[in-house]
Chains A and B, each alone.
Chain A
């Protein structure tokens, strides 16, 4: 038997949201508003500019021969600068996925969010992008499924990860 099951009544007095609104209890409200403008850096800046051009770009390390995405100016395995830019494809394979039923505010979602890690074609296997899936029934999503990026139109693209709307199954296309 759990300890919590033995407790039949809790001491004290329950505070309701109404009590707080009515000012029955003291509280302190402070709105903390830090603001940031992160410098994306050499690698991610180029990556974002290329997304605007409907391209996905990676960095290659000539020592371990890996093609790294997200691109970085250093190879974390070899600890040396990476060597060159490589354009990779906007198609890939679902490495893993999850169907989220809970929003950031802890509420149940009416339409679940399909989150996936997509290993991108042209990058070293096991490297890719974290994105959403779309145009697919949640029950049909499988690890190993081939998917393709669905891009925003050129006028909508602004050099952001969301220039790709989502990935959809390649299927019959």
Chain B
């Protein structure tokens, strides 16, 4: 039986490199107001559970959960914070609804990276304090390590990774949220400065500010709310071992696991033909290829060649990151998964404007928590 939880409202704010005029809480209020209007719900009366996906160090406030209720309309209501990607928050909301605790649940996540002066310090602090801290380099060295192993093991051509950045940045030019859209060629991407070899700067997504709010409802309740429900038919999440030294750097094993669970729940048997489009992790160029293989949308080692052939273009066989993804739109820390979900929901509602994929009915969305994690989540959506 598919999961069948309804996405009845979405709202967002920000999507800019900096949002100096608004506090984090004001940014959230704007997104929440839009989401509740979109869903036709009053948070003070109609919502039984609120979930925020944030990480204290990105906020700069410890026990940051305590600062979430007011701007979501959640004062004196059940609220919890999950220190993980937004899709894990969506999974938690699905459980609250399935268990009967709530028939309407709200999930919020945001990035206010412009408040953080030295974000690399925080990513570096995520390395094991005793075993791994001795490497005194930009934390993207972890991405370089993964990319090198992926390229070697799959015999993927180096410049296929660059094509991912070319495609996604070009797609983002059509997206009103696309802060990092650009019309570039592969040489420009390959010749941009090396961040940590083989990864270049233009193959690394850049962080932006934004808040995204989702309103979810049980199947029964969703039927009474609006007429643009998008269904979550399957969801899965997974974490690999934290040891950089021990996990398989070539594969996104956490994504394979998450996808297997979500596909099983949704009844997806043949992923490449089942889906009309995909929004997948592209925090770094190679991540999109690795993710597509983990999601079984490409055979192992074949994703690069398919990107090169145009199979994943906006008008290709299976559009991948038609929104521009993280490379084209920008990276939203723990809200990245909700960003991908947002783009998918707008597509499935037919509200994607110039990005619209014709006859889009089924989508897979996948996210990763970023370096140095091996945690990710997958959702299967349908209209």
Contacts and interface: CB of A to CB of B under 8 A. Distances in A.
Interface of A: 28, 30, 32-44, 72-74, 76-79
Contacts, number: 75
A36 B75 contact: no
Nearest to A77: B75
B26 A76 contact: no
A36 B60 contact: yes
A76 to B, nearest CB: 4
Given A38-B23, A77-B75, A30 B129 contact: yes
Band of interface residues on B:
20 to 34
B29 A37 contact: no
Interface of B: 19-26, 29, 36, 42-44, 57, 60, 69-71, 73, 75, 112, 114-118, 121-122, 125, 129-130, 133
Given A39-B21, A73-B26, A34 B71 contact: no
Contacts of A28: 129-130, 133
Contact of A39 (B20, B44, B71): B20
A131 to B, nearest CB: 20
Contacts of B42: 79
Given A34-B60, A40-B23, A43-B26, A78 B44 contact: yes
Chain B CB within 10 A, most for which of A28, A37, A74: A74
Contacts of A79: 36, 42-44, 73
Contacts of A74: 26, 29, 70-71
A interface majority secondary structure: loop
Given A38-B115, A77-B44, A79-B42, 9 more contacts: A33-B118, A39-B24, A41-B25, A42-B21, A42-B26, A43-B26, A44-B23, A74-B71, A76-B75
Nearest to B73: A79
A132 B95 CA distance: 45
B222 to A, nearest CB: 21
Nearest to A26: B130
B73 A37 contact: no
Contacts of A33: 118, 121
A39 B59 CA distance: 11
A36 B114 contact: no
Contacts of B29: 73-74
B366 to A, nearest CB: 29
Contacts of B75: 76-77
A30 B125 CA distance: 9
For the complex of A and B, the 6 pairs showing the least CB-CB separation, nearest first, are A41-B23, A79-B73, A35-B117, A76-B70, A36-B60, A41-B26
A3 B201 CA distance: 59
A11 B73 CA distance: 53
A41 B114 CA distance: 13
A61 B277 CA distance: 45
A78 B43 CA distance: 9
A76 B73 contact: yes
B73 A39 contact: no
A37 B18 CA distance: 12
B22 A41 contact: yes
Contact of A76 (B24, B69, B115): B69
A32 B57 CA distance: 11
Contact of B112 (A39, A73, A77): A39
Given A42-B26, A43-B26, A74-B29, A37 B71 contact: no
B116 A34 contact: yes
Contacts of B121: 32-35
B122 A34 contact: yes
B119 to A, nearest CB: 9
A74 B75 CA distance: 12
Contact of A37 (B69, B115, B122): B115
A82 B229 CA distance: 31
A42 B71 contact: no
A28 B121 CA distance: 17
